[in-house]
Amino acid sequence: MGPGAVRIAQLLESVGREVGVATAIAPPLADLAHVATAVSIPVLAQHVDPGDAGARTGYVPVESIAAAGARGSLVNHSEHPMSMPDIEDAVRRLSEHRLAAVVCAADVPAARRLAATHPPYLAVEPPELIGGNRSVSTARPEVVSGTVAAVHSVSAGTQVLCGAGVHDRRDVARALDLGAEGVLVASAVTRSPDAERAIRELLAGF
């Protein structure tokens, strides 16, 4: 949070550019504009609400994150779940504002349903593995490969990301071998005593 969010964003930008891997970051909403002005990599919101901007105190409309400099948003993260109608509305509104939606799914059936919203990105993250020490690509590889197959059968243009427990280059490489096109990571970097080392380790998997 705060200066820490900016520091991690700048490290991610620097190391990603050095090793030639495309990166993006989703800081806490309170830090969104601050981080977006500090780096040139895409900065995403962690959540966006459906509906128009207006008399909606406490909500996060798409217009708000666009004004803050965001390039898109996570949608339906397991720590901030949304109803299907709200997901559909959020994805549609993000697209209308030319912002990217990264829709999160807990498993293969959910990924198949959510792919019908045709988001540019869909991330599969079994909730029970988030923040843990075992990657989904190791503990449940069939979830990754199954999601890739399910999503591409519904929405050919959607890129699949793999999250939950991704900690090192081996986890990343396994995810790519299973058909994912990227990873979604939090605790492996934010809990590390050496964020730069953690970022370098993860990006080495590409």
Residues with catalytic function: 77, 125
Q: What is the side-by-side strand order in the sheet with 100-105? A: 44-45, 72-75, 100-105, 121-124, 159-163, 182-184
Pairing of strands 72-75, 44-45: parallel
Q: How many other CB atoms are found less than 10 A from the CB of residue 70? A: 27
Whole-angstrom CA distances from 202 to 21, 130, 133, 172, 183 are 10, 16, 14, 7, 9
Q: Tell me the C-alpha distance between 198 and 152, whole Å.
A: 31
Which amino acid would we find at residue 51?
A: G
Cβ pair 167, 133 in contact under 8 A: yes
> Closest Cα to residue 115, out of 90, 88, 142?
88
